[in-house]
Homo-oligomer: A and B are copies of this chain.
Amino acid sequence: MSMADTIPHRKLTHECAMKMLNAGIRKANDMGVPQCIHIVDDGGHLLAFIRMDGGKFLSTDSSLKKALTAASNRVPTGDVPPDVDVKLAIATEGKLVNLFGGLPIIVDECLVGAIGVGSGTGEQDLEVARAALAVVEGAKQW
Contacts and interface: CB of A to CB of B under 8 A. Distances in A.
Each complex incorporates copies of this chain amounting to 4
Given A48-B50, A87-B98, A91-B97, A56 B72 contact: yes
A65 interface: yes
Given A9-B10, A50-B47, A58-B68, A138 B91 contact: no
Interface in A80-107: 84-99, 107
B136 A5 contact: yes
Closest 10 CB pairs of A and B: A2-B137, A43-B43, A58-B72, A5-B16, A62-B91, A49-B49, A6-B10, A91-B97, A61-B92, A89-B90
Interface of A: 1-2, 4-19, 21-22, 25, 41, 43-53, 55-62, 65-66, 68-69, 71-74, 84-99, 107-108, 110, 112, 136-139
A97 B90 CA distance: 8
Nearest to A43: B43
Contacts of A48: 49-51
B90 A87 contact: no
Given A4-B137, A6-B10, A7-B10, A51 B46 contact: yes
Contacts of A136: 2, 5
